[in-house]
Amino acid sequence: MLRLAGARLLDDRDYPAVRAALAADPVGSCMVSARVETAGLDPWRLGGELWAADSRPVRAGRLQGLCFSGPNLIPLRGNASALRSFADRALRRQRSCSSLVGPAEQVLGLWDELEPEWGPAREVRHDQPLMALDGIPSVASDPLVRAVRPEELDKYLPSAIAMFIEEVGVDPRHGDGGAGYRARVAELIAAGRAFARFEDGEVVFKAEIGAMSSTVGQIQGVWVHPERRGAGLGTAGTASVVTRLVRGMNRTASLYVNAYNSPALAAYRRIGFQQVGQYATVLF
């Protein structure tokens, strides 16, 4: 198969075009926008690289392809030719990302290029509705859901670990005994972006605002204690986090969910979320 020279590493000269590309899909690009708005395009500050399929800096107009390469590989736009160029660049080094995630068309197209060398994947989630809500929830919020306080980290952490194992299928404590995951959870708590309902000192509902750009906040890690499921805690608790985002932070609330998770999809729709796109995830 004919291969291209590879994708181009973006730099500050490309910033206007990158911002325009991200602004064209603020919900779909939230994970990358949150980084770019804070760190610019310098790889060291960004915690990864931004690639384009264009051969030279684009001072005006539309980037033909855009991909973030960091802890996750996130292709945001690009046709088949662009995806081949991203694959070529990714295959020049040993894989370090834990997943491939983003708009389904780009993710699955890029995975077709990478799978012969990076496969098999641990799991491919082909259909993950990307949902958004920029108004007040249609259901009542849970008044007992609140921001987690820093001194509550040890009470909150077991629920975060349980959620991660359920959702991702691996234990986040593997490798370093959990130090890295504990630090990430602590950062979310310190930033006021971890929320929970406590009963008798135990978490019965939790959720976090992960990536947050200037216009969108992405809800993640929604979890209800197994003994309390089916009682509406997840719906009312998520509505509380949405209200914090929309009213308190002036952001659109977003999330993505596996299409096969019918109870969660139904709950999000009751809250008022509408599907605005489709994600896919490849887990390594």
The pTM of this model reads 0.93
Beta strands in 1-71 (DSSP E): 8-9, 49-52, 66-69
d(C-alpha 131, C-alpha 8), whole Å: 31
Q: Work out the average pLDDT over 4-26.
A: 88
Phi-psi region of 271 (alpha: psi -120 to 50; beta: other; left: phi over 0): alpha
Please tell me the predicted confidence (pLDDT) of residue 161. Answer: 97
Residue 136 confidence (pLDDT) above 80: yes
What 3-state class would DSSP assign to 216? Answer: strand
**Running DSSP on this structure, what letter comes out for residue 123?**
E
Residues of the chain with CATH 3.40.630.30: 145-277
3-state helix/strand/coil string of 218-229: EEEEEEECHHHC
Q: How many H helices and E strands in the chain?
A: 9, 12
State the Cα–Cα distance between residues 240 and 9, nearest whole angstrom. 40
Q: How far apart are CA 90 and CA 117, in angstroms?
A: 11
Reply yes or no on whether the pLDDT at 32 is more than 70.
Answer: yes
Distance CA 122, CA 152 (A): 33
**C-alpha separations of 138 from 13, 126, 134, 235, 243 in Å:** 44, 29, 12, 10, 11
Q: pLDDT class for 34, splitting at 50, 70, 90?
A: very high
Q: Collect all residues with Cβ–Cβ distance below 8 Å to 258 and sequence separation of at least 6.
A: 125, 127, 128, 264
Q: Which residues pair with 196 in a beta bridge?
A: 146, 206
Query: Helix axis angle, 15-23 relative to 30-39, nearest 10°?
Result: 150
Name the CATH superfamily housing domain 145-277: Gcn5-related N-acetyltransferase (GNAT) (3.40.630.30)
Q: What confidence category does residue 63 fall into, taking pLDDT thresholds of 50, 70 and 90?
A: confident
Tokens matching residue 104? 């389904």
Determine contact, residues 34/209, Cβ cutoff 8 Å: no
67-80: pLDDT as tens digits: 999 999 999 999 99
Under a CB-based contact definition with an 8 Å cutoff, are residues 275 and 243 in contact? Answer: no
pLDDT category at 2 given cuts 50, 70, 90 is: very low
Which pLDDT score, from 0 to 100, does residue 4 have? 46
Mean pLDDT of the chain: 94
